[in-house]
Amino acid sequence: MPTLLAIQASPRHEYSTSRKLSAVFVEKWLAAHPGGKVIERDLMKTNLPFVDLPWIGGAFTPPEQHSPESAAAIKISNDLVAELQAADRIIIGTPMYNFTIPAALKAYIDHIVRVGVTVVDNVGQLTGKKTTIILASGGDFRPGSPFEVYNQASGYLRQVLGFIGLTDLDILLADRARAGDAGETAVEQFGEAVSLAAAA
Ligand SMILES: Cc1cc2nc3c(=O)[nH]c(=O)nc-3n(C[C@H](O)[C@H](O)[C@H](O)COP(=O)(O)O)c2cc1C
């Protein structure tokens, strides 16, 4: 049975555009893959520590040399990597914060980019896993928009996730979410694109 890993980064829970659209994605994916398994990785409930000295010791030395602190620090990273390895399909729902990604998602990325594990000799190891990102933003960053170049999130995510092998990657811009919050536009306007991505 295929496994979908659903990663969420918005703290706005029921108000969140990226979460609402991710829920549509998961529903459509399950409909297209009856019996499929969904692993939820909610970064607002995960409380990830930032990379620190014990983590670096754990990441760059063999397990038999790990101090108890390093072993504990790297276990979280190992668990997150194992989740990714077990997934056939990945969805990431995230807000844009200050033209890039929220700190919680950056902390997650710092845990999963592991030299010798997810990247070996500069070759990404997590290949063959189609990935969809739903990027919610208040502004309009569509191609041709005057603010397109302000979007530092899409290029960064494409680059860093590609580095670990997630090269089959689509980014859906759920832009102008502010208008959605004000009731001027509906989240549903993005629903069709999300449904198509989930079925692919
Ligand atoms: C701290 C913070 C920073 C934000 N920075 C940006 C930004 O740089 N560009 C933008 O278009 N919207 C920005 N927004 C608006 C959010 O991207 C927008 O509300 C989006 O819908 C959040 O995603 P969510 O609905 O899934 O929580 C920011 C919101 C917050 C709270």
Report CA(186)–ligand 1 centroid distance (Å).
Answer: 16
CB atoms within 10 A of CB 65: 11
Atom 1, ligand 1: residue with shortest CA distance: 97
pLDDT at 136 over 90: yes
pLDDT at 173 over 80: yes
Apex CA 156: angle with CA 153 and CA 160, to 5°? 140
Alpha-carbon torsion (185, 187, 191, 197), positive or negative: positive
Strand blocks (E) in the chain: 3-8, 37-42, 89-95, 119-120, 123-124, 130-136, 169-174
Of ligand 1's listed atoms, the one at least distance from the Cα of 100 is 8
Q: Give the pLDDT confidence of 110-135 residue by residue, as tens digits.
A: 999 999 999 999 999 999 999 999 99
Does ligand 1 come within 6 angstroms of the Cβ of 132? Answer: no
pLDDT at 184 over 70: no
Does ligand 1 come within 6 angstroms of the Cβ of 98? Answer: yes
3-state secondary structure 12-44: CHHHCHHHHHHHHHHHHHHHHCCCCEEEEEEHH
Q: What is the pLDDT of residue 139?
A: 92
Say if domain 3-199 classifies as CATH 3.40.50.300.
Answer: no
Q: What is the pLDDT of residue 167?
A: 98
Q: What is the pLDDT of residue 183?
A: 59
Label residue 35 left, alpha or beta by phi (over 0 means left) and psi (-120 to 50 means alpha): left
Name the binding residues for FMN. Answer: 10, 16-18, 96-99
CB atoms within 10 A of CB 33: 18
In the chain, where the domains are located: 3-199
Residue of 98, 99, 101, 190 best suited for mutating to test ligand 1, as the one with most atoms within 8 Å of CB: 98
Residue of 15, 22, 94, 97 best suited for mutating to test ligand 1, as the one with most atoms within 8 Å of CB: 97
Q: What is the pLDDT of residue 181?
A: 62
Atom 29, ligand 1: residue with shortest CA distance: 97
Tell me what percent of the residues of the chain surpass a pLDDT of 70.
94
Mean pLDDT for 88-106 is: 98
pLDDT at 16 over 70: yes
Which residue shows structure tokens 């844009």?
96
Report CA(176)–ligand 1 centroid distance (Å).
Answer: 10
Q: What is the pLDDT of residue 186?
A: 59
Q: How confident is the model at residue 13 (pLDDT cuts 50, 70, 90)?
A: very high
Least confident of 33-37, 77-81, 176-180: 176-180
Q: What is the pLDDT of residue 193?
A: 77
Two structure tokens written together for 57: 């010791």
Report CA(178)–ligand 1 centroid distance (Å).
Answer: 8
C-alpha 6/C-alpha 87 separation (Å) is 9
Q: Identify the CA nearest to 175 among candidates 148, 139, 145, 143.
A: 139
Q: Are the C-beta atoms of residues 2 and 46 closer than 8 Å to each other?
A: no
Report CA(102)–ligand 1 centroid distance (Å).
Answer: 9
Of ligand 1's listed atoms, the one at least distance from the Cα of 20 is 26
> What value does the mean pLDDT of the chain take?
93
